[in-house]
Structure 1
Amino acid sequence: MDIYCTRPNCTKPLNSFADLDSGNTLKTITQKFCTSCGMPLLLGGRYIVESPIARGGFGATFLARDRYTPAMKRCVVKLLQPIGFTSAQMVVAKQMFEREATVLEDLGTHPQIPDLLAYFEVQSGQDEFFYLVQEFVDGFTLEQIVEQHGAIAEADVLEIMHSLLPVLTFIHDKGSIHRDIKPANIMVRKSDQSYFLLDFGAVKQVAGVAQGQKSTGIFTPGYGAPEQMRGDTVFPSTDLYAFAVTCLFLLTGKEPDELFDVSYNKWQWDRFVKLSPNFNNVLHKMLESAPSDRFTSAADVLQALSSQASVPMVQPSVQTPVKPAHQTSIQVPVPVPLPNFAPAVPKPAASRSQKTPWLLSASIPTQFIGAFLLGVEAMLLWQVSTTVGIAVIGTPANLISFAAVLLGIILLRISSILDNKDLFVFVNLLSFAAVWGGQIFAKVQFQNFPNWIEIAQYCGIAGFSAIALMAAFRLIFQLLYSLL
């Protein structure tokens, strides 16, 4: 069995123990130590770390198993790992870590907040390590959904809001404020598509203080409310502000700095997505600069979303054209589910490849046009190859030249310089030019060439066939991914 060492800067953290492959030994052994640094490996005497999940300046998280459960249940182990902290900063860090454990113990009773399983210290030589063990949610974050599938449709975002606003109500009623709501801290569980709110390390307890408390400056840039960025008093509406920014990211696939117009000091998302009037107004009110101008509670937001009347607001003075944006519905599971704690560092942008053919991700009219072009391309290439092609590509030299041109197109396609749309236009224009030129200048060679109406019919048949085949492939892909 392999066990991962959690000590920061351990040179060889992965340890292998053949004796632990026996189930009885695994349950009865008292402790195991890292062969490189001597760090205890059975955390709290029961948790076996399998692999790291994320590391940062304040903490590190690991995927682990509980050896005292029959199925070796998975869990998430979070380690307090301050780097370069002074003694005073270390005291504050410990207090925040202990507060997170206290808050999780209280808030973990909610079904959409991971349970706190354990909280303990481990002594290794002169070093002290603080651990927090939490329920593992097998799913993926909203941040990863957008990176893999693009922007999310309004109906799905509304579903997310209706699911998580009651969670915020629960948190606020308990006298706490999350202070770090963002797409990476919202997870969808793969088994039942339930939404979970994660990472309560920045939670601020305001119980007994009606007007809130001073913020300690913990937030994610772009998502923090103005009062939070200034280090001023935070309120429940501070979480609502961050939640609204999160929704904008989901709706547009754009980072907050792309959506906030600094010249007018206001949020401008109309050029990326067109929302229903009521939802649009609700988001505007959640994003007001002054906390007093926002909704006072998550329950008020829910009521406004359910209301048919729009929320009163001042319309933006600058009107920008709406650029259509492709939006996809949430589908589970995704190819690469994320563990409970997502890395704090930005992830690389998703590659151009998709799990289904690119044409199927477009709108229905675009699919029909693209499929018809496929038919045009197939018919024209066939005609050119059986007329001009046979006449011209007769010598080895011409054949080599033609192969070199096709190889060049393929290389451009692979290198992403020439994408699918460019390839359609390039090949079809080239084919049209060849056919028209042949009809005008080489009529003898085109005596058996079908008329244009007949060609259009062939192209239509080919296009509908392409749509049917691609739809069949899409169904097969969805079935395969649902089994993975």
Structure 2
Amino acid sequence: MEAVYAGPLKLKNIQQPVPAYQILPARDLDPHSVNSSESAPFNPIGFATEETLLDTIIDGRYQIHRVLGRGGFGRTYLASDMQRFGDLCVLKEFVPASRADYTVQKSRQLFEQEARVLYEIQHPQIPRFLAWFAEKGRLFLVQEYIDGKTYATLLREKLRQGAAFSAAEITQWLADLLPVLEYLHRLNIVHRDISPDNVMLPDGQTHPMLIDFGLVKQAVNQIWAAYAEGDSTVSQASFVGKLGYAPPEQIRMGQCYPCSDLYALGVTAIVLLTGQEPNTLTDRESLEWCWQSYVQVGDRLTHILNKMLSEKPKDRYQSAAEVMTALGSPGAASSPIPHPSIHFSRPVSNVTQQQRLPIPLPKPLPVLDPKFVERCRTELARCIGPMADYIVEDILAQTPHLKPEQLVQAIAAEIPNAKQAEEFQQQLRSH
């Protein structure tokens, strides 16, 4: 039998809607071929273990090697393309909320539309989008595999050595990434999901790459919103991005502009500078940024970052080219498609004399209470169903020493629906 997510179910004596699943007969399988990699069945999302996925062949072409990540939308896999001599690639899986004919048709239309936009992107600092396809009611995006480390990983490595990124490093980092954003924004593409986890430094290279666009996630959110139309428990302004990094207009209204990416880039920059999470860098009373309490940099970089972090979109830089000009990058806006290898000929003068506050080595954190972790799993399952176990497990595997409030925030960031993410946090704060 197959269990397929059918949407939220309202029960009379339960306040929160619970996930409902439709039980369908299993597809006809050749019992003699189940263990064969050429015809191994691809188990439904949320029920297949990593062991059963190993060596599975998708679309008769992509052989699964391992799971790279999990989220509220589905899984991400490392695979090899058997029609390209075994070249490694990334398979991103998206699962529609229902198998109803309308939902499936709308899913394919929106997914193809957004995938076509991504396919047009040709930039050395953005992984190539190779193809998309549908199989067994799920949608897949095929992307170039980049071997390297995310800046979240690089930051953890630096903190273990007692220091975060320097102002000079962040200035160069901005100079490397701003031309990429300028290129995207001129194509009317907004990344929507910039964070240390979504910027990668490839092995043996010096230029960072932007990964994991939120564009297709937004399309999936539109599908879910259309499916749940008329359901007051589902927010129509779906949220794509990471809490703490996404700007207010993206969280509250689901609206994104080029300056929304600049805001997220600014948050990422101060996280790399200070080694602190965004919630720590915000004053709890005034809700204003207080990142300068952790690190002091030159006046120019301070002004640039603070303007990028302005709460109101109109108060920020309106284009990546404006930020490049403020940094002092020569010929920042002279090319319609910025070349990714732009560098400063010299460091910005106001940033070279950096006065850093000491950053203590990370202290050992107490192990999370298993009962609290189980509560997190239970509440998450109310929002997204059986994928909850995998998501919590993945978060704890990557960052095992989270504080309880950090675990709640990390889990909430994986919930596609903004209203459900907020309710999830409220439930855990109320106990």
Structure 1 length as normaliser, TM-score? 0.54
Relative to 1, partners in 2 of residues 1:105 and 1:222: Cα closer, same or farther, differing over 3 Å?
A: same
**Counterparts of 1:5 and 1:250, CA distance in 2:** 43
1:261 counterpart SS class: coil
Unaligned residue ranges in structure 2 (runs of 5+): 1-34, 220-235, 330-347, 362-392, 403-431
| 1:348 aligned residue | 399
Match of 2:112 among 98, 104, 116: 98
Q: Deviations over 1:143-184 (max 9, x none)?
A: 111122222111111121111111110111001111111110
Q: Match for 2:292 among 267, 270, 283?
A: 270
Q: Retained in 1: the 8 A contact 2:53–2:64?
A: no
Which structure's relative contact order is higher, taking Cα pairs within 8 Å and 6+ residues apart?
A: 2
Find 2:324's aligned residue among 302, 320, 338.
Answer: 302
CA distance in 2, matches of 1:260, 1:94: 40
Q: Is the 8 A contact 1:259 1:268 kept in 2?
A: yes
Q: Which residue pairs with 1:433 in the alignment?
A: none
Q: Tell me, yes or no, if structure 1 residue 62 matches structure 2 residue 71.
A: no
Runs of 5+ consecutive residues of structure 1 not aligned to the other structure: 18-33, 35-40, 206-213, 311-320, 328-342, 352-484
Deviation by residue 1:15-60 (Cα, 9 ceiling, x = unmatched): 699xxxxxxxxxxxxxxxx9xxxxxx43232211111111222121
Residue of structure 2 equivalent to 1:114? 127
Write the deviation string for residues 340-359 of structure 1: whole angstroms up to 9, x where unpaired. xxx984632579xxxxxxxx
Find the residue that maps to 1:259 and give its secondary structure.
coil
Cα shift readout 1:99-129 (whole Å, capped 9, x = no counterpart): 442232012x11111111221112xxxx422
Q: Secondary structure at the match of 2:68?
A: strand
Q: How does 1:37-186 map to 2 (within 5 A)?
A: 41-70=56-85, 72-82=86-96, 97-107=111-121, 109-122=122-135, 127-150=136-159, 151-186=164-199
C-alpha distance after superposition, 1:66-121 (max 9, x if no partner): 12233x211111111356899887777655543442232012x1111111122111
1:6 is displaced (CA, Å) by 4.6
Alignment of 1:241-256 (within 5 A): 241-256=263-278
Match of 2:253 among 205, 215, 231: 231
- Structure with a larger share of its residues in helix: 1
Q: Which moved more, 1:1-10 or 1:97-106?
A: 1-10
Distance 1:13 1:233, change over 3 A: closer
Change in 2 beyond 3 A, CA 1:56/1:87 = farther
In the alignment, structure 1 residue 281 sits paired with structure 2 residue 316: no
Maintained 8 Å contact 1:180/1:218: yes
Q: CA deviation at 1:293?
A: 1.0
Q: What do the CA deviations read for 1:177-210 (whole angstroms, capped 9, x no partner)? A: 11111110101100323311111133679xxxxx
Mean CA deviation greater in 84-93 or 258-267: 84-93
Give the Cα separation in 2 of the matches to 1:156 and 1:143: 15
Deviations 1:439-471 (A, max 9, x none): xxxxxxxxxxxxxxxxxxxxxxxxxxxxxxxxx
Once residues 227 and 217 of structure 1 are traced to their aligned partners in structure 2, the CA distance between those partners, rounded to angstroms, is 10
Read off the aligned partner of 1:152 and give its amino acid letter: F
Alignment of 1:382-401 (within 5 A): none
Counterpart contact for 2:301–2:327, Cα < 8 Å = yes
SS at match of 2:253: coil
Verify the 8 A CA contact 1:48 1:67 in the aligned structure 2: yes
Displacement, 1:322?
Answer: 7.6
Cα contact 1:6–1:13 (8 A) shared by 2: no
CA distance in 2, matches of 1:91, 1:241: 35
Task: Give runs of aligned pairs for residues 274-423 of structure 1, distance below 5 A.
Answer: 274-306=296-328, 323-325=357-359, 345=395, 347-348=398-399
Give structure 1 regions of 4+ aligned residues with deviation exceeding 6 angstroms.
83-92, 307-310
Larger radius of gyration: 1
- Tell me which residue corresponds to 2:201: 188
- Give the CA deviation at 1:309: 9.4
| Pair 1:90–1:121, CA change in 2 (3 A) | closer
Seen in structure 2, the aligned counterparts of structure 1 residues 262 and 10 have a Cα distance that, compared at 3 Å, is closer
Contact 2:96 2:137 in 1 (8 A): no
Identical pairs, percent: 33
* Residue identity opposite 1:193 in structure 2: T
CA deviation string 1:275-295 (max 9, x = no partner): 111001100111111111111
**Residue in 1 aligned with 2:229?**
none
Instruction: Tell me the CA shift for residue 246 of structure 1.
Output: 0.4
Deviation at 1:254, TM superposition (A): 0.5
For 2:197 and 2:254, locate their aligned partners in 1 and report how far apart those are by CA, in whole Å.
Answer: 25
How many residue pairs were aligned? 290
Provide the rounded CA distance (Å) in 2 between the counterparts of 1:98 and 1:184. 26
2-side partners of 1:349 and 1:276: how far apart?
35
Kept in 2, the 8 Å contact 1:96–1:201? The answer is no
Is the contact made by 1:75 and 1:134 (CA closer than 8 Å) also made in structure 2? yes
Query: RMSD in angstroms over aligned alpha carbons?
Result: 3.4
